[in-house]
Structure 1
Amino acid sequence: MPDAIKGQERPKKGVAHFVCGRRSKWVVVVLWLAVMVLAFPLASKLGDAQDNDAASWLPGSAESTQVLEESKGFRPEVIPAVVVYARDSGLTPADRQQISEDVAAIKQLRDHGVRGNETRGPVLDRPVDPRAAQVFVPITMDEKGWDRIAPAVDSIRDITGKSSTGLEVHITGPGGTAADFSEAFEGIDSTLLFAALGVVIVMLLITFRSPTLLLVPVISVIVALSAAQALIYLLATHADLTVNGQSAGILTVLVFGAGTDYALLLVARYREELRRHEDRHEAMALALHRAGPAVLASGATVVLGMLVLLFAEMNSTSGLGPVAAIGVAVALVSMLTLFPALLVILGRWIFWPAIPHLGSPEPTERGFWARTGRRIAGRPRATWGITAVILAAFALGLTQLRADGISNADAFTGEPDSIVGQSVQAQYFPAGSGDPLVIITNAPQARTVGETVATTSGVVPRSITIPPGTKPVNDGRVLFEATMSDPADSQAARATVERVRDAVHAVPDADAQVGGGTAALLDAETATTRDNYVIIPLVLAVVLLVLTLLLRAVIAPLLLIGTVVLSFAAALGLSALAFRYIFDYAGEATDFPLFVFVFLVALGIDYNIFLTTRIREEAGRLGTRRGVLTGLAATGAVITSAGLVLAGTFAALGTLPMVAFAEIGFAVALGVLLDTLIVRSVLVTGLFLDVGPKIWWPHRRAREDEPRTPEPAVAGSAVSGGAVSGGGSSPNEPEGS
């Protein structure tokens, strides 16, 4: 009998044994089939439960949110679309006749939510020899919400698309922009699903080198995604959980990325145990017993990290927290139950063509990461020092970060009609005419407040109006609008909002509030800045606590947190340089640093856990130095494979035609690659080797580093020991290599 299988360990009775038991494995699969039958119809309805209204994104305490809510008492909630007509040489009589006919037809679109009696225009850019005209079309926001906008705008476009040759016609304003955003989000679930699925299939095929094995994690992840979407749909419809297009899209990426990572780690350990056990049920039970705690700890850390987002003021950010946490939790359960049950049912042949046979040799001792560890061990201080300096140099790119918001004109990777129309409109009319300020004040002070607004810098003189269809007075309050001279999504317009607010708040007894699209952008920036200062330290605290409890040490977790911060700064710096000089993006959303940090730290901590728990296990038998080298050799390949999969799934966000998603996807993918290829493998290894046993302080292991068994070859213990994570074999190294 080969040495590798002498003294086989028998799995203990427990959850792991139940999941892969000879009969109970079928029970697990049947239970998940029942979940799928119940979940699939509900999962398909998640798009209907999304709430993309402005209030679902903004903080509830924001002044713009309060104006939005109070304005419903004056008029039905509407969003104005602006139809812009332009001919640089001047509108012809035929043009003006065509515009009049268009307006008459648009007013008849009542079935699409158009408020015909309140449609205004055409408004000419000048009374004599006009070159442009604009028509304001209010669209009702009823129970259908944002689902009504895109069809309404499409109907308007069908009417205006028949204009005479040479006459430019565009649909812009809040309604036009909302329609373009709605169309960009349309099919987000399916687009990201197929993109992420494609990435996972390709990466698993490269990693496993088996066309049959990759089907098992793919099936398990799809089941997990459907179950998570169904649960989130139920919570959204019955427990007021906020779900929007952003959180629904990120959910898909998270479930695919995290779920596949867990699958890779379990497969690595299962493959190792199959080389030592003839009975695949025992092999899987031991694989779960040894790798399961690390997978469970990493998944729990991600869930806790996501739940920290509940402390955010931004509704969109706080709503993402539980959505992401549910997704990762369901993926974790699926990968610890359904996935191993399916592997055991299918047997060894599923690994074809590299089937792990009983007693076959371990490839880890001669692997790339074993050789890398030996090189680092030669000069650990120089290795981690040089690596840290390089990462710090990458972080200097932060000077190019412009996370102060993205204007509508820069929000799309392409140039939709509303953005073109916004530019054309600004050539002939006040730039802010399509998205005015909304002011609500007490009736007795309304005249004073109106005069104060009209004389504020940045407001177009004589632009104070009461919108058609608005009650003149509601409970002693008055609503009116004012046009700004700058584009509504510009920094200059935000400054105007601040000046107007300062001015009207100073009017005695007015209780005036200022809202509108620009005010909402300003409030979102303010809330996001606050969230950055609150959420980031909380996430770090959660990660530090988990690492401290898991490793039962203080020095090691502090070192790991330092590498996390350095890795994040380097990823953000490199991303900022890429956005400026490669992709030519105008800037980043205000919540960009927060999202990148949360995803990188919460997900990147997985790799810390997989590596350090293995190091800690091996250090108990071999001493810290050999434990570090063995841990790297045993987990390096599987961590790299997991990182590549996670990076690829986040890169799939780039398939969406929106800059904010593309930037998050790029930065997280780059950060994950830095984390797995450089930080975990080189920086952490060098640090641990240099500091030595003191990394375990205050544990008694900090004072003893003598091997408790004869010193084996660097990675030899991957065959013989009981490791916690990853396993000795690499899923991307062929059998017997």
Structure 2
Amino acid sequence: MFGRIGRFSVNRPWLVVAMWVIAAIGLAILAPPLKSSTDQADFLPSHYESVRVSKLQEHAFPQQEKAAAILVYQRQDGGKLSEADKAAVVKATKGFQDEKYKTFKSVVTTPEAVSKDGEMALANIYSTKKDVYNEDTQKSVKDLRADRDGLLKGTALKVSVAGPAASALDSTESSGDTDAMIMMATLVLIIVLLGAIFRSPLIALMPVLMILVMFTMAQGLIATASDLFGLEADSSVSAILIVVLFGVGTDYMLFLLFRYREHLRQGQEPKGALIDATSRVGETIASAAGAVIVAFLALTLSTMGSMRAMGPSLAISVAVTLVAALTLVPAVFSLLGTKAFWPSKAWKQAPRNRLANGTGALISRRPGLIATVSACVLAALAVGAFGFKAEFDTDSSLPKDLESVQAMADLQKSFSAGESDPTLVYVQSDGGAKLDPAALSGFRKKLEGVEGVGEVSPAVPNPRGDVAQFSVVLKYRPASEKAISLVSGELRDTAHASAPQGSEVLVGGTTAVLSDIEDAVNHDYRLVFPVAGVAIMLILGLLLRSVVAPLYLMLAVGLGFAATLGSTVWLFQDIKGENGLLFMLPIVVYLFVVAIGTDYNILMVARLREEVGKGKSPAEAARLAVAQSAPTIGSAAIILAGTFGVLMLASNTMLQQMGFAVAFGILLTAFIMALLLVPTVTAMLGSKAWWPNHRFDSPHASGASGPGRAEEPDAADDTVRV
């Protein structure tokens, strides 16, 4: 099959290139815009309590609104507000109201909105839009910020804007700059590394141009799929999509180009060499891509909408990359011929690779020692994973210099920690009867007795009297670990147990949403990890026709996952002092390191199987496989790790954590696992590694070679023949 695909692409290059360009342009023009959401509550399924609270609130208190943004007034010198300052706050707030911003229904303040220390006053902004994260509301925040200097002129005040709409605006603007920076840094990195590997400007530039076509295709397909199936992408998907396409796309091109160059060195004509290269590495690339795709699709089992949206998006991008690697890449290099390698002459003769040969020889002589040392290094790094703490406040990942982040930090200094965003408790009668005020008063006292609760407002009944609302101010910051533990534990337990007779109690609000997200993520850990692991093992089993090899490969990658997470914990929590790591980081690391890192294990084990199939002893096969595969695995891993490592340049700590974790995990997978641990374990297991395939049980003496130097391995002969 892959031979037929190669012949079609190589013999009809202009047709293939035209089809790709037309499809990319068509999707760019016709595809709907990609929707995005930054509201964490949007990503929870409807059965969670915090989501049920939102629906109850809409039904019982339709007139009640949550502020889209908050104006935080302070004196410029940091002192207490005078009576004149308080009057200026009222006047400025009325001025903002009179400006009639597009989506702002009202801007209001009250005398009670002054902090107890007298240093701060607040005003709430209410939107005409139910979705406070929409673009029009963000534009209104931007316009208000532009007008504030004029409205505060002649006063001693300054005002900052915090709240959901302001955070969304700052996040969007920060993300836009980040995406552009990541795209540029990734392009420069790939061009420089490809140029250094092949010493050819055309090979350095052509993959980048092809990946840009793939990126356009993938974005159009993702937007179309999102529109058809109602998915909302998380705001960080675009940055991740860039590095996935460029990293994985470059990997697959390297697999093909190295084998193409090998056939050229053997004297084949360019078109024939390209067809043979596509035929030989097609199954390997397809298997590697298949492992990545099924791992990403496992995210559709997640209870988190953000992960369910990310999974198909990334799976689509890898599928586009796979098709391009087998069609577009051969077509383009068919048109270029050997001119693609100009001005380098290295494609004519294979250089010696002393480092790869030396590593292979060492592995052949001391497999037990190398396996032990490799496993110990990974195990030592994995110890850090026990200190992992999940951070569920995604706003905490935003740069600290953003206005909305600074304003919220200032607000929480003058007001009690939970006052800016209280937890909401609702009591609803079962049959629609009116609630008993005395029972509600007793329920309130029960809530006030919970350790960690600051204040509980009196019951506020709805017009029908069958639902009552309590605002519960916690002593902790709403998104903190203590607040989440309190709401998910004692507060909810007490509220449910103390429900007045004939009523149901529901606990909601931001802290409750984060508590439910924590529960959803723990569910995903228990479901997504095993499903993705089993799916990848099945692909490995089909490729290798073995039961044993996939088992120890997945055990090795699992150890690599733990080592990656442990290293990230040590860097960001212990060294940089972060409160915790992004709550979904373990899932992202697991999928990227296990799935993408499996590419290198596939290359290595398939090469080992090939050498054993030629009659080599297990030790000799390991030596030759490492000597032959090290240059490709090393080059591909450095480029892939570099593209993910670019995320560390972002100001968003979530992307920094993700960039380091995946980049470091890829390097561990390539250089310790694929090049050291996997070949040594395979050599020690011998024919047992391929059970129940008995084809490799008895190596033929005539095909074996001594333990000396490798049989002139081609530094480019690094892809596997399967």
Q: Are the equivalent residues in 1 in contact too, given 2:2–2:283 (CA < 8 A)?
A: no
Pair 1:716 & 2:705 matched: no
Pairing 1:194-343 to 2, within 5 Å after superposition: 194-343=184-333
Query: Aligned pair in 2 of structure 1 residues 533, 462: CA closer, same or farther (>3 Å)?
Result: closer
Conserved in 2, the CA contact under 8 Å of 1:413 and 1:657? yes
After the TM superposition, which of the residue ranges 53-62 and 596-605 deviates more from structure 2?
Answer: 53-62
Describe the shift of the 1:475–1:602 C-alpha distance in structure 2 as closer, same or farther (beyond 3 A).
farther
Amino acid at match of 1:417: E
Evaluate the alpha carbon distance shift between residue 222 and residue 626 of structure 1 in structure 2; reply closer, same or farther with a 3 A threshold: same
Residue identity in the other structure for 2:425 = I
CA distance in 2, matches of 1:245, 1:700: 51
**Residue among 58, 69, 74 paired with 1:72:** 58
Aligned mates of 1:61, 1:708 — CA distance in 2? 67
Summarize deviations over 1:469-520 as a string: whole Å, max 9, x none. Answer: xx93479545554433322112232234233322332313322322211111
Residues 78-227 of structure 1 mapped to structure 2, 5 A cutoff:
78-87=66-75, 88-116=78-106, 119-125=108-114, 130-142=118-130, 145-161=133-149, 163=152, 167-186=157-176, 189-227=179-217
Give the 3-state SS of the residue equivalent to 1:511 in structure 2.
Answer: strand
Counterparts in 2 of 1:620 and 1:261: CA distance versus 1, 3 Å: same
| Structure 1 residue 177, shift from structure 2 partner | 3.2
State whether residues 411 and 660 of structure 1, in contact with CA within 8 Å, keep that contact through their aligned partners in structure 2: yes
Is the contact between residue 124 and residue 130 of structure 1 (CA under 8 Å) also seen in structure 2?
no
- Residues 278, 386 of structure 1: alpha-carbon distance in 2 compared, 3 angstrom cutoff: closer
Paired AA for residue 349 in structure 1: K
Residue 340 of structure 1 and its aligned partner are, at CA, apart by 1.2
1:629 maps to 623
Q: What pairs with 1:357-372 in structure 2 (closer than 5 Å)?
A: 360-363=348-351, 366-372=353-359
> Counterparts of 2:120 and 2:71 in 1: how far apart (Å)?
11
Aligned with residue 375 of structure 1, among 362, 371, 374: 362
Secondary structure, counterpart of 1:20 in structure 2? helix
1:505-544 aligned at under 5 Å gives the runs 505-506=496-497, 507=499, 508-544=501-537
Equivalent residues in 2 for 1:559-598 (5 A)? Answer: 559-598=552-591
Offset at residue 58 of structure 1 (A): 2.3
Give unpaired runs (5+ residues) of structure 2: none
CA deviation vs aligned residue, 1:32-78 (integer Å, no higher than 9, x gap)? 121122022256x544x223333432233221122223433414875
Correspondence 1:392 to 2:383: no
Q: 1:26 aligns with which of 7, 10, 14?
A: 14
**Residues 306-705 of structure 1 mapped to structure 2, 5 A cutoff:** 306-355=296-345, 360-363=348-351, 366-406=353-393, 408=395, 410-442=396-428, 444-445=434-435, 447=437, 448-449=439-440, 452-453=443-444, 455-457=448-450, 458-461=452-455, 463-464=457-458, 472-473=462-463, 476-479=466-469, 481-498=471-488, 499-506=490-497, 507=499, 508-623=501-616, 624-705=618-699
What is the identity, as a one-letter code, of the residue corresponding to 1:571?
T
Deviation at 1:636, TM superposition (A): 0.9
CA spacing shift, 1:437–1:223, aligned 2, 3 Å: same
Gaps of 5+ in 1: 1-10, 729-737
Q: AA paired with 1:559?
A: Y
Equivalent residue pairs, number: 703
Q: Which secondary structure does the structure 2 equivalent of 1:618 belong to?
A: helix
Shift of 1:724: 9.3
**Cα distance in 2 between the residues matched to 1:231 and 1:77:** 37
Report how far residue 230 of structure 1 moved: 0.3
The one-letter amino acid of 1:572's match is L
Residues of 1 paired with 2:653 and 2:66: CA distance?
A: 27
Deviation of the 1:131 alpha carbon:
2.8
Q: Distance in 2 between matches of 1:714 and 1:449?
A: 85
The percent of aligned pairs where both chains have the same amino acid is 29
> Is the Cα–Cα contact under 8 Å of residues 72 and 161 in structure 2 kept in the other structure?
yes
Compute the displacement of 1:675 (Å): 1.2
1:38 aligns to 2:26 (yes or no): yes
Instruction: Give the C-alpha shift of residue 251 in structure 1.
Output: 1.9
What amino acid does structure 2 have at the position aligned with 1:378? R
Q: Secondary structure at the match of 1:415?
A: coil
1:295, distance to aligned residue in structure 2 (A): 0.4
- Native 8 Å contact 2:564 2:661 kept in 1: yes
| TM-superposed deviation, 1:720 | 13
When normalised by structure 2's length, the TM-score is 0.90
Name the aligned partner's letter for residue 535 of structure 1.
Answer: V
Deviation at 1:304, TM superposition (A): 0.6
Offset, 1:246 = 2.4
Where 2:266 maps in the other structure, the secondary structure is: coil
Counterpart CA distance in 1 for 2:627 and 2:392 is 44
Residues 217-248 of structure 1: CA deviation (Å, up to 9, x unaligned): 11121111111110111112222123221233
Letter in 2 for 1:123: E
Partners in 1 of 2:486 and 2:577 — Cα distance? 28
Distance 1:222 1:708, change over 3 A: farther
Deviation at 1:26, TM superposition (A): 1.5
Q: How much does 1:324 deviate? A: 0.9
SS of equivalent residue, structure 2 residue 112: strand
Distance 1:393 1:91 in 2: 55
Could you tell which deviates more after superposition, 95-104 or 399-408?
A: 399-408
Q: Could you give the per-residue CA deviations for residues 233-283 of structure 1, whole angstroms, max 9, x where no partner exists?
A: 111222212322123332222111111100111110011111224421111
Distance 1:414 1:580 in 2: 17
Residues 44 and 304 of structure 2 are in contact (CA less than 8 Å); yes or no, is this contact kept in structure 1? yes
| TM-fit CA distance, 1:665 | 0.9
Q: Deviation per CA, 1:407-459, whole angstroms, max 9, x where unpaired?
A: 74x42343322332233222322222221223343263384457634525344
Deviations 1:289-340 (Å, cap 9, x if unpaired)? 1011100110011001111111111111122111111010011111111111
Which residue of the other structure, out of 5, 11, 17, is the alignment partner of 2:7? Answer: 17
Corresponding residue number in structure 2 for 1:7? none
- Secondary structure, aligned partner of 2:390: coil
Q: Distance in 2 between matches of 1:244 and 1:511?
A: 33
- Aligned-partner Cα distance in 2 for 1:212–1:568: 36
**Aligned-partner SS, 1:347:** helix
Q: Which AA in structure 1 matches 2:388?
A: L
Is the Cα contact below 8 Å between 1:449 and 1:504 reproduced in 2?
Answer: no
Partner AA of 2:629 in structure 1 = T
CA contact (8 A) 1:81 1:172 kept: yes
Structure 2 residue identity aligned to 1:436: P
Deviation at 1:189, TM superposition (A): 4.2
Structure 1 pair 456–490 and aligned structure 2 pair: CA distance change class (3 A): farther
